Structure 1
């Protein structure tokens, strides 16, 4: 008895060449992407709702998925509080430098060249030391001052960062810092040096209150904290009330510009531009106040 088909299928004819992975040509495979149909090895395939997709199709599919965004337009990601931690680290490093230079943790400003070069001293700003407007926000008087501000930044900053997104959060923080410096330049004793991150932190408190309003939640908790801190600023000597107030107003206005100015615009890119324009407007006003005060101090110094 014979079977003519047996030898023809397996015995005499060569086995057809096996497909090879499109990403790894040296790897034969019997698998294929259920989306594009191209052969792929197990390493290049990922389980999908239907079948399995190659890494190229997975990447293309992810690119078409709209990323979740917050009410401010910031992207929701897993790096919660990253910018806040970086700002805290910069403050701690600046404090460590002043403590090493002064050889004292509690009296870290006594003989510190970093403190002397960055503390917000209006006459020095009038002479051209504009770096003091930002740098002073990273210096602190003693360990207690640093710990209090860093604790407040840790509690408030991370949540505000999560809503605004990293870029807008940095913008609001810097504008708050500049707003606090502008208020100090204009309203504080010009011959008193001011340092600390509290002006920017007050700006974040203002931002938090505006965010709660945007989310249609009661801003009362944030307002109570702001009120308590204002009372503390008034009753305890040596605290810069106007630095706090300038930061609070600048931060609240910048955040309101981000959240409310572009609210009725449909195009997302246009909304982003309008929000940034509002932040820039707040920054311009703060810089105009600083410029006015610089000219005033120069005239008083006969320059």
Structure 2
């Protein structure tokens, strides 16, 4: 039986210097403090006690549970970058810029823009089959002020929410919030033309309130901001209250499904089951929103004789 990394006796009777198990051409006096095999400097990494070879580190990584947030998202080291939030802001700004170029008007970009005309949420048009309006309207804005207010709110609220939920869950909650806002408009604001990311922003506010509850912290400040925005939505003409409320309810419900799924701790199988339950709850919120939209489409088609 031979021991890898060790040679026999040399010609002069003295044992040769051990050689790295990964690089047999490199003599070394070092070894892994975990497995004891000889290893060169390139193959060793500092450890709490001594130094471990890259093979032991790789084997340990397979059995060590990675750190995760309370929502089950990977916990990123250092200062995490909310990439999705920045991408969403960029998309909203880009689409606004396109409507400005098409209309030639910064303040009234909704006039003369084919993109705005085809994406704005108008329930009779949705009933006629323009389904792109259901989500596309969430990326349109009436003028620069409307855009700046929503993007500032998204920048403030979205960053922390993305880090806690993780990128995939965050995108899902954002889109479901737009869908919920559109469903509420379809149900209660049939004759209005609405647009804006406000439904998604309200959904993220609801998500933050749920996250604070899950962390056993007071959601009071977030609820106060929500209440203030609801009052503004009621008192200022031209603001879609139902779009805001629909987004709020959908975002909060989807986040609650992701955050409060049972079995978030335990064996890998239990954790996977919890993740599946969370995604299943989010899918249920999506199905309800789509169901409301489909029902209103059928009713409007019958009422308008389409």
Query: Do the aligned partners of 1:18 and 1:28 also contact (CA within 8 Å) in 2?
Result: yes
Question: Superposition pairs for residues 96-245 of structure 1, below 5 Å?
Answer: 96-190=97-191, 192-245=192-245
For 1:134 and 1:22, the matched residues in 2 are separated by 57
Aligned to 2:86: 85
SS of the residue aligned with 2:52?
strand
For 2:124 and 2:196, the matched residues in 1 are separated by 18
Shift of 1:26: 4.8
Aligned to 2:259: 259
Aligned to 1:297: 300
State the structure with more CA Rg: 1
Aligned to 2:275: 272
For 2:146 and 2:19, the matched residues in 1 are separated by 65
Query: Do the aligned partners of 2:263 and 2:271 also contact (CA within 8 Å) in 1?
Result: no
Instruction: State TM-score, norm by structure 2.
Output: 0.87
For 1:261 and 1:17, the matched residues in 2 are separated by 60
Aligned to 2:6: none
Query: Do the aligned partners of 1:262 and 1:272 also contact (CA within 8 Å) in 2?
Result: no
Shift of 1:185: 1.1
Question: Deviations along 1:249-292, whole A, 9 cap, x unmatched?
Answer: 11111122222352698622222122112111111111110001
For 1:186 and 1:47, the matched residues in 2 are separated by 62
Question: Deviations along 1:97-129, whole A, 9 cap, x unmatched?
Answer: 222222332222222222122111212211222
Instruction: Describe the shift of the 1:22–1:135 C-alpha distance in structure 2 as closer, same or farther (beyond 3 A).
Output: farther
For 2:121 and 2:13, the matched residues in 1 are separated by 85
1:52 maps to 2:51 = yes
Shift of 1:85: 1.5
For 2:37 and 2:194, the matched residues in 1 are separated by 66
Instruction: Describe the shift of the 1:56–1:102 C-alpha distance in structure 2 as closer, same or farther (beyond 3 A).
Output: farther
Shift of 1:28: 4.0
Structure 2: gaps spanning 5 or more residues? 1-8
Shift of 1:37: 3.3
For 2:69 and 2:132, the matched residues in 1 are separated by 33
For 2:24 and 2:122, the matched residues in 1 are separated by 68
Name segments (4+ residues, structure 1) moved above 6 Å.
Answer: none
Question: Superposition pairs for residues 30-45 of structure 1, below 5 Å?
Answer: 30-45=29-44
Size of the aligned set, in residue pairs, is 293
CA RMSD in angstroms, aligned pairs only: 2.3
Aligned to 2:4: none
Instruction: Describe the shift of the 1:263–1:53 C-alpha distance in structure 2 as closer, same or farther (beyond 3 A).
Output: closer
Structure 1: gaps spanning 5 or more residues? 1-8
- Structure 1 window deviating more from structure 2 (244-253 vs 43-52): it is 43-52
SS of the residue aligned with 1:155?
helix
Instruction: State TM-score, norm by structure 1.
Output: 0.88
